[in-house]
Amino acid sequence: MKLGIVGLPNVGKSTLFNSLAGGGAESANYPFCTIDPNVGIVPVPDKRLDVLGDMYSTRKITPAVIEFVDIAGLVKGASQGEGLGNKFLSHIREVDAVVHVVRCFEDSNIVHVDAVVDPVRDIETINLELMLADLEVVDKRIAKTQKQAMNDKSLAKELAVLKDIKSALEQGKSAASVELSSDEDIAFADSLDLLSRKPVLYAANVGEEDMADDGNSNPHVKAVRELAAKEGSGVFVICAKIEEEIAELENDEKQEFLADLGCETSGLDRLIKASYSLLGLISYLTAGETEVRAWTIKNGTKAPQAAGKIHSDFERGFIRAEVVTYDELVKLGSIAAAKEAGVYRSEGKDYVVKDGDVILFRFNV
């Protein structure tokens, strides 16, 4: 999973990136201190892996990972070259989802590019720039497709989709708002990598005092949640300043620090949970003495395609999946006990993999 972190300058973007990814993104109180995109690879915390690792006395534990891309702060007019221009927009065309950091805290020591804190206005500013950048892409694609369609009538459908998207963008609506009638049209629209078509997760960056009640008493957070509900986007509340402090602590100290703040989980945990939910992702597990590993797949994925995440040969030569749920395996203590209890199952090609399934794939190429 690859997430692009965007937002206006000085909203806490690079501070959040550093705390989540342990990266070295420059963070300072002036716009555009982050020029090139910073990339961080973060393991997905999953306590199930440690439990299975102990059970199998495994030599290696491999968690799923998330790649974060920290994009320089965008400003009004970025799509037309304002500020540092729109070259940064290209960095987020390949991400699976956009994490949009919005400032929901007041601090006279940290300059806001528009002087007054207003997260809804900030969101609209960024969204407009993304849509304008998309409009440029769509216009170029329409010009190219119209020429090709003169000799290839099969392109008429693609041209119709492009024009529908162009019409929406010109009305100030996102590419995601366009309703597409077929899987083929959806696949084509997805292939355009339009910024305003990507799923969005709003990170409401609050002050330390707002963390105990998850930002419920913060009017800025309320406004972000209302906007996100209309869009069908996700929201999670975070204090980038606290996350920066947590990142420097050992695991035991982290839990104690969070407890003192009245928080059950870290911002990274909440971000990952929200990202998985937004993108419809789950993890299945493989376990043995050699390795215990988590594999991320789309919810609804069938066994052969899940096997293909490990290796294409597993999907091509799929015979069956031998499955036990994580909870049942841990409760019974071993695969042998699971077999004896009748909960170790053999599943075929139509089996839909569930989150937490512990699977051994049988295949023959």
Per-residue pLDDT for 158 more than 90?
yes
3-22 per-position pLDDT tens digit: 888 888 777 887 887 777 66
pLDDT for 27 equals 39
pLDDT for 80 equals 54
Closest among 332, 160, 123, 316 to 235, alpha carbons compared: 123
318-351 per-position pLDDT tens digit: 999 999 999 999 999 999 999 999 999 999 999 9
Per-residue pLDDT for 239 more than 90?
no
Per-residue pLDDT for 356 more than 90?
yes
Query: What's the whole-number mean pLDDT along residues 34-49?
Result: 76
pLDDT for 33 equals 35
Closest among 89, 69, 62 to 2, alpha carbons compared: 69
**Segment (H or E) for 153:** none
pLDDT for 78 equals 47
Q: How many CA atoms lie within 13 A of 246 on its CB side?
A: 28
The β-bridge partners of 361 are 321
Per-residue pLDDT for 82 more than 60?
no
Among all chains, which residue has been given the structure tokens 């809804």? 120
Tokens of 154: 């099969």
Statement: the pTM of the whole predicted model exceeds 0.85? no
87-124 per-position pLDDT tens digit: 556 667 888 899 999 999 887 765 555 568 899 999 99
3-state helix/strand/coil string of 326-361: HHHHHHHCCHHHHHHHCCCEEECCCCECCCCEEEEE
The percentage of residues in the chain with a pLDDT greater than 90, rounded to a whole number, is 51
On average, the pLDDT of the chain sits at: 85
Query: What's the whole-number mean pLDDT along residues 297-303?
Result: 96
C-alpha distance from residue 76 to each of 103, 209, 239, 325 (Å): 16, 30, 25, 50
**Three-class SS state of 3:** strand
Query: What's the whole-number mean pLDDT along residues 114-136?
Result: 86
Other CB atoms within 10 A of residue 171 CB: 9
Burial of 357 (0-12, 13-18, 19+ CB in 10 A): buried
C-alpha distance from residue 279 to each of 176, 179, 241, 308 (Å): 14, 18, 27, 19
DSSP 172-185: T--GGGS---SHHH
